[in-house]
Structure 1
Amino acid sequence: MRAWARKPGYRWAPEPPGPPYVVDERVEALRAAVDADGTPAILIAHSAGCVTVANWASRHDGPVRAALLVTPPFIPPEWMHVARQPLPFRTVLVASRTDPHCTMEQARECADNWGAVLVDAGDVGHLDSATGFGPWPDGEALVARLAGP
């Protein structure tokens, strides 16, 4: 998905320093990016970025049309706060049957909590470059569908 940021119409939200992942820093970076642009965005998040989007949506509003959340990790509530209410925009959550960070059942729970449509990507690991993903036309098709009316 990082490669998408180099395409016209896409922009990478700034990343705060890290690791470690500090949710408040990431939420603030997303808030700043959404507020700076002002045009309705489609948020695309992978892994911990999905947690960032959920927590941002629980604290802020902004011009967001939809979100594509890809292979969110399961984070037990005792480890970190993850917002669990429906997101206020159309959301698709893509999950993998072989993601080492989240079972399909946990992904289904996230999708239910966030009011997202769940897409089963099959046996694709964490759906990242480490598991062999390069271009992802199915993901781009999901973004195009979210961009539609």
Structure 2
Amino acid sequence: MPTTPPIVLHPGWQNSGPEHWQSHWQASQPGSSRVPQTDWDHPDLDDWIQTLDKHLAQQAQPALLACHSLGCLTLLHWLAHYPQHHHRIAGALLVAPADVERDNAPAEIQGFAPIPRQRLPFPSIVVASDNDPYCQLARSQQLAQHWGSGFYLLTGAGHINAQSGLAHWPKGLALLQGLANQQSVLG
């Protein structure tokens, strides 16, 4: 009997605080874990990729990733560096990917440009908001298309973070868990 894949959470720049949906999921989902980046405020692409790789290697089976903002781009860069490790991922929920290529991107995150545009070899869904100040809706849709991801729109949810008021965000968790079913059909 197949077991449920572990949930791995990868926050973005400055981590996810206690009211963020990622923190709620970590507290409520047995066996879930957060990628332990050493410096959330001054992200270094190479460090973040290495930390993600080590964390995924520690999982007993392919994981479901729930990435937010810069965490989404970390996953894409990780895959570009370690394409042979794609089997470590059962599926990925890419929530509010950060547009690090935009003109007003903060200096702290510009090192994550350019945004990788390869097709993902595992099931994925991009979740975007129509009023995200860090990635315009058309850009999120374009990235989803490049990545071969499904697309889910939240209306008026901003950057889909703690300020969005999603709390436990059961619909997001259902989207993530649905990716495991897609993997079993594909694999």
The TM-score normalised by the length of structure 1 is 0.92
Unpaired runs of 5+ residues, structure 2, are 1-21, 104-109
RMSD between superposed Cα atoms in Å: 1.6
- 1:146 deviates by 0.8
- 1:42 deviates by 0.8
Distance in 2 separating the partners of 1:9 and 1:143? 15
**Equivalent residues of 1:69, 1:92 under 8 A apart:** yes
- Which has the larger Rg? 2
Distance in 1 separating the partners of 2:24 and 2:164? 16
Partner amino acid, structure 2, of 1:52: T
2:43 matched to which residue of 1? 21
1:101 matched to which residue of 2? 134
2:178 matched to which residue of 1? 145
- 1:77 deviates by 8.0
Distance in 2 separating the partners of 1:25 and 1:106? 26
Distance in 2 separating the partners of 1:90 and 1:108? 16
Distance in 2 separating the partners of 1:144 and 1:27? 24
The TM-score normalised by the length of structure 2 is 0.75
Partner amino acid, structure 2, of 1:24: D
Distance in 1 separating the partners of 2:157 and 2:102? 26
- Number of residues of Structure 1 aligned to a counterpart in Structure 2: 149
1:70 is aligned to 2:103 = no
- 1:33 deviates by 0.4
Unpaired runs of 5+ residues, structure 1, are none
Q: Using CA pairs below 8 Å that are at least 6 residues apart, which structure has the higher relative contact order?
A: 2
Distance in 1 separating the partners of 2:75 and 2:163? 23
Q: C-alpha offsets along residues 9-47 of structure 1, whole Å, 9 cap, x if unaligned? A: 311111121312222111111100001114111111001
SS where residue 85 of structure 1 aligns? Answer: coil
Partner amino acid, structure 1, of 2:114: H
Q: C-alpha offsets along residues 77-104 of structure 1, whole Å, 9 cap, x if unaligned? A: 8942321111111110000001000111
SS where residue 44 of structure 1 aligns? Answer: strand
Partner amino acid, structure 1, of 2:24: A
2:163 matched to which residue of 1? 130
Distance in 2 separating the partners of 1:76 and 1:82? 7
1:5 is aligned to 2:26 = yes
Q: C-alpha offsets along residues 53-77 of structure 1, whole Å, 9 cap, x if unaligned? A: 1111111114111100000111218
Runs of 4+ in 1 over 6 A off after TM superposition: none
Match of 2:71 among 49, 59, 70: 49
1:118 is aligned to 2:151 = yes
1:36 matched to which residue of 2? 58
Partner amino acid, structure 2, of 1:68: L
- 1:130 deviates by 2.1
